[in-house]
Structures are given as structure tokens and as C-alpha cells.
Amino acid sequence: MRRPIRFIERNWTQLALVAVAASWVFRRLRTKRHRVELPAPTGPFQVGRLAFDWLDPARKEPYAPGKRRRRELSVWIWYPAEVNPGAQAGEYLPGRWRLTSLLWGFQASRVRAHAVSRAPVARGQERFPVLVFSPAAFAPHYYTALFEELASHGYVVVALSHTYEMLPVSVFADGRVRLFRPASVGNALQVSRIPHEEDVRKRARVVGVKAEDLSFVVDQLERLNAGTGLLAGRLDLDRLGALGHSLGGNAAAEFCRRDRRCRAVVDLDGGLWSEVSQEGIPRPFLMLFAEHPEYLRPCADSVRQKAFSSEEYCQEHRAFAVTGWQRLYASAQPGYSIQVRGAGHASFTDCGLLPLRSGSFARQSLGSIEGHRMWRVLSDYLLAFFDRHLRDRPAPLLDGPDPSHPEALFEPPEVLFQVPKA
């Protein structure tokens, strides 16, 4: 198994060029009438985008084959901008990030986003609140529609590419590529066949790395804000929020437990594996869940559906997950727990908006909610939450069920995911 991996690592440049060339030929053979435009941002600001590569000399790279490498991250930033007339939006997947579309099953050149690369920051002296985002396996760009909407309403969104975790590759801003390594997600992308206790330890370690990544990036943002670059003096790091998807949701919560600079946090359909599920955090916390039938049906049925390897593992995991969610929800000040009816795990990404091919496995976890509607519901609740807790603005949408958002079910985790008896 190591030989093909080593071959790929040693010949990555040539293989990447072949893949890009094949993708270009395929694009030329397709008609242009099937282009897809992401939803237009609705806020008062236009949107810019830029990227950085940041090296943390204090930390070893935990997933690299060598022992001497330091932890290095690629970071993408969406921000309120003043776009010059005639400026063209940047590519949805820039550079070698296009290789990820081959895995997820769509043609990246067919997708049009709205952010303009390195556009000037919006005029004035206003400082903008900052949101740091942790994904899981999906590259930061697969949340573009959401980030553009948040930026258009006056937020700076800083999304991490956790190196070795993105599928199938992580790409640095300067074009370097790192292949995915299963250890970077604690083997969470397959049905586990080891004891649940061991999975908890593995994934807690992964979450710890991701939380450290977030703290390091906030350190870099402080330096960026104090410097002379494009965003200098425009970041309001006293109004800092965090959010994440899947394992990234746990990482965002763990970061907020460890780092007092974080004022509010959102978990987008993420299980909890780390200490935060035991200790909680006395800060504003929002959990947005997809539907999870594997948590509601008898374990025997979930095993037959290949959601779990055994009934014992199923029972342990469901009790562990629901207890952790409920404990964190109860400790938050205040806590919000909302399930989006019809949402699947991938519905929190752009996948519901992308021209996925029929065989794309991302379709299997999209749920039944239409992509544009999911984007609107998700955007509205995130804007309401961060507006209330970072900007002290009214947000009645958070106060309970709203007829304009019938998909949103307000219930504590223990009610949403009542664990049935075996």
C-alpha cells in the first residue's frame, strides 16, 4: 500500500498537470450553457477574497511522514470589499484546488462565485467582526456561498485549510500540495470497527490539533491587523466568533473553551469528542443539526444500513453523542439547539448548489432540502446569532419557531435525538 502512495508523493507535479490537462479538455468539450451561479450575496457590501500561507514554528506537523516538518496552514479570507468597476470574480476553486472537484463529481469551471481576489476593503474606518471557520474534509471553498453572504453583511470570515485533512488534497496559496491522510480525521470517514473508547481518544486528538490551528490563526490575525497590509486596522478582534462543520464544529467549540478571545461559537452538525463535551463553555453557543435517522431507529436497523459496525458500538456512540450535546447546550450562556428539517450532513456545504454528477457520493448526504433554501436558512440563523452576540443587535429569529423558517425545529438535543431502547 505504501508504494503507490510514495509514487504519488514523488510524482505529484506530473500527475497534477495531467489531471489539470484532462480537466481542461473535458471542459472544452462541454457546452457553456450549463454554468451555475452561486446565490448572490444580499448584504450592503461587495466581497473580496485573499489567501495566506502561515507557518507555526512552535508546533510539529502531526500528520507528515517526516519528523522535522512544522505545522503550516493555508488560510482563505472573505471580507467586505469595494470592488472596482469591471473587476472579475475569482475562480470558485483556484489553482490546484480544482483537483478536489474530480473527487466530489462536478466541473469547477462551470461554477461562478462573486468574491473578487484582493479587492480593496470597503471604504471607511469601520472595523469588522471576525469569524474563524474550521471545516472537515471539505476544502474551505466548498462553503463559499455562505462565506460570501456573511461577508456581504459586514463580517470577515477566515477559513482554515487544515493540512492533510482536505479531500483528496490540501493546497497552499503558493501552489504546493499535500495528500489527504486518514489520521487527520481520526478515521471518521469510514464505519469504525475498533472500540468506541479508542475512537473517542483518536478524534479528541484530532480536535485538539484543529483547535490549536484556530488559536494560531487568531494570533496571526492580530499581527495582520497591526501591520500595513490590505486588512490592517480593519479587523475587530474584540468581536471574534468561531464556527465549524462536522469535526470542525467540535474544534470551534474546543477553541472557545481554551481561548478567551472567542466570544460566541456555532457547531454545524458536528459530534463532540473532546473535553468541551464534558466541561461545557459559558458563552453563547448555537448547534445547527441535520436530520440523523441513524440516531432514531433501533440499532439493529442502523447496523443493517451500515451506519455502525455493531449494535454495541451504536448504543455507546449515540448515548455519548447526545449526552455531550445536551451538556454543552445546558452549559452555554445562552444555548440554542435547532434542527433543519430535510438537511443532510453535506447540506451545510455548497454541495446542494453545485452541478454534481449523478454518481457523486456527496449526493448521498445532502438530504431532501433544496440547496438554495438551505443556504438561506443557514445564512439567516448564523447572521441572527452573530449579530446578537457580537454586535448586540436584535435577532428575534433566535427566540423560537418562525413561520418564515418552517424548516427550523427548536428542541434540546435530548429531545431531537431520543435514544431508543435496543
Dihedral of CA 262/242/380/86: which sign? positive
Please give the angle made by the CA atoms of 184, 144 and 147, to the nearest 5 degrees.
100
Amino acid 157: pLDDT: 98
Name the least confident of 5-9, 13-17, 69-73, 394-398: 5-9
Torsion, Cα of 246, 247, 250, 252 (10° steps): -90
Q: Where along the chain do its domains lie?
A: 1-30, 36-416
pLDDT band at 30 (very low <50, low <70, confident <90, very high): very low
pLDDT at 33 over 50: no
CB 143 within 8 A of CB 133: yes
Tens-digit pLDDT profile for residues 224-251 = 999 999 999 999 999 999 999 999 999 9
Mean pLDDT (whole number) for 363-375: 94
Mean pLDDT (whole number) for 169-183: 95
Label residue 95 exposed, middle or buried (CB < 10 Å: 0-12, 13-18, 19+).
middle
CA distance 230 to 214: 21
CB 218 within 8 A of CB 259: yes
What is Dmax (Cα atoms) for the chain? 63
CB 419 within 8 A of CB 302: no
Side-chain-facing half-sphere of 146: CA atoms under 13 Å: 31
CA distance 31 to 27: 8
Mean pLDDT (whole number) for 392-418: 96
pLDDT band at 13 (very low <50, low <70, confident <90, very high): very low
* Cell numbers standing for residue 274: 473532546
Amino acid 137: pLDDT: 93
Q: Tell me phi and psi for residue 53, to 5 degrees.
A: -110, 125
Amino acid 420: pLDDT: 52
Find cell 440523523 and name the residue.
Answer: 292
Find cell 474563524 and name the residue.
Answer: 132
CA distance 409 to 413: 11
336 forms bridges with which residues in the sheet? Answer: 286
pLDDT at 328 over 80: yes
Mean pLDDT (whole number) for 36-53: 97
Amino acid 308: pLDDT: 94
pLDDT at 5 over 70: no
Helix ranges, 227-295 (H): 247-258, 276-279
Helix ranges, 64-195 (H): 99-104, 144-152
Mean pLDDT (whole number) for 65-72: 85
* Closest C-alpha to 318, from 332, 343, 334, 297: 297
State the DSSP H helix or E strand holding residue 3, giving kind and residue range, or none if neither: helix 2-10
Amino acid 419: pLDDT: 61
Q: Are strands 177-179 and 116-117 parallel, antiparallel or unpaired?
A: unpaired
Question: What predicted TM-score, i.e. pTM, was given to this entire model?
Answer: 0.91
Side-chain-facing half-sphere of 38: CA atoms under 13 Å: 27
Side-chain-facing half-sphere of 109: CA atoms under 13 Å: 13
* Cell numbers standing for residue 152: 456581504
CA distance 52 to 73: 8
Side-chain-facing half-sphere of 220: CA atoms under 13 Å: 22
Helix ranges, 193-234 (H): 196-226
pLDDT at 118 over 50: yes
What letter would DSSP give residue 343?
Answer: B
Mean pLDDT (whole number) for 364-378: 96
36-416 folds as: Rossmann fold (3.40.50)
Mean pLDDT (the chain) is 91
